[in-house]
Amino acid sequence: MSENEVNSAIASSWLDEPLSEEKNIEMSLLLTVLDEHFGYSFRYYSKNSLARSFARACSKFGLEHMSDLIPILLHQPRRLDEVIDAITVNYTQLYREPKSWLSFAQSILPRLYSYPSLNIWIAGCSTGEEIYSLMILLDEHNLLGRSNITATDINPWVLETAASGVLSQSLNQKDRDAYQQSGGKENLDDYFVGGRELITPLKRSLESVTFKVHDLCQGPPMEGMHLVLCRNVLIYFTREKQKQVVMDLENSLVPLGYCCLGQKERFMQHQGGLKPLVETQGWYKRFR
Ligand SMILES: C[S@@+](CC[C@H](N)C(=O)[O-])C[C@H]1O[C@@H](n2cnc3c(N)ncnc32)[C@H](O)[C@@H]1O
């Protein structure tokens, strides 16, 4: 697929088909409750993506209409976590998009040795598989010890899982294959006890990871980062918001710092100083 074809495929995925007037009203009421009552602003999410998320939440609760979620939120606020879980898409896996990890191992990691310490931000880290994937590769290249990792997500409940060091699902062959394709040097099983829990040395390193609730749409961005991973998050935002968040990611980097975006987020036009590294899959460098 040429770059132009990819660009237009992505552009068309951003085009929202119009929602009915009733659905628009329901969505707007629901967004108001989430924002004004709970401080979760989903106003910058593409409407179609939100409609899909709310439909998922409705089916989880056995409800017919989006607006039926409102009384649950207002009168059973303890169920907020279930609603947020249904709205935010938490799908993740170890070594997701292996080609991008391979680029990291081959092209980015060797350029990081010159830094005495590394500030790394994983934005939208979900349940932690991305953090563990990164930690293992950093460890294999003797860079984990000098890395200060901050992992953020809008959803506080996924952060709890991420901090536990336990995989959401036991290791499977797909994980093992993805690790090998990502340039992993060892046996992935050796990093997990019982196929699920990080081994003690990695768990100790996980204790020094800073976990923070952070909303990419409302910032402020982190600062002084050498490396930022923000993958498969921007895709849910409106196009305008995507542009602004990419600017924020750029500003969070030190000059010559690196940023990685997800496979479907890569070809966004960007006027700033963040430029794609042609020899890599999904990696950008801040050039000014
Ligand atoms: C599909 S997962 C991607 C996880 C991981 N980055 C990966 O590529 O496998 C998207 C994650 O982004 C988080 N997220 C959604 N909206 C966000 C926002 N506004 N700010 C920060 N994180 C957000 C979700 O809670 C979810 O954990």
Q: What is the DSSP letter of 151?
A: E
Which residues pair with residue 95 across a beta bridge? Answer: none
pLDDT of residue 7 exceeding 50, the answer is: no
Distance CA 240, CA 44 (A): 8
Per-residue pLDDT for 102 more than 70?
Answer: yes
Of the pLDDT bands very low, low, confident and very high (cuts 50, 70, 90), residue 207 is very high
Q: Distance (Å, rounded) from C-alpha 78 to C-alpha 26?
A: 22
Q: Which residue has the tokens 């993506």?
A: 49
Q: How close is the Cα of 88 to the center of ligand 1, in Å?
A: 7
Total-model pTM: 0.91
Q: What is the pLDDT of residue 267?
A: 63
3-class DSSP state of 122 = strand
Neighbours of 200 (CB within 10 A): 10
**Residue found under tokens 């980097």:** 253
Q: Give the other-Cβ count within 10 Å of 179's Cβ.
A: 24
Q: What pLDDT, on the 0 to 100 scale, is given for residue 15?
A: 38
Among 3-17, 33-47, 62-76, 150-164, the range scoring the smallest mean pLDDT is 3-17
Q: Does residue 14 surpass a pLDDT of 50?
A: no
Least confident span in 95-99, 105-109, 261-265: 261-265
Question: Could you tell me if the CB of 100 is within 6 A of ligand 1?
Answer: no
Give, as one character, the DSSP assignment of residue 237.
B
Please name the residue whose Cα sits nearest to atom 11 of ligand 1: 124
Residue 252 confidence (pLDDT):
97
Ligand 1 centre distance from Cα of residue 114 (Å): 30
Q: What is the mean pLDDT of residues 274-279?
A: 89
Ligand 1 within 6 A of 219 CB?
no
- Cβ atoms of 13 and 21 within 8 Å: the answer is no
CA of residue 233 to ligand 1 center, whole Å? 5
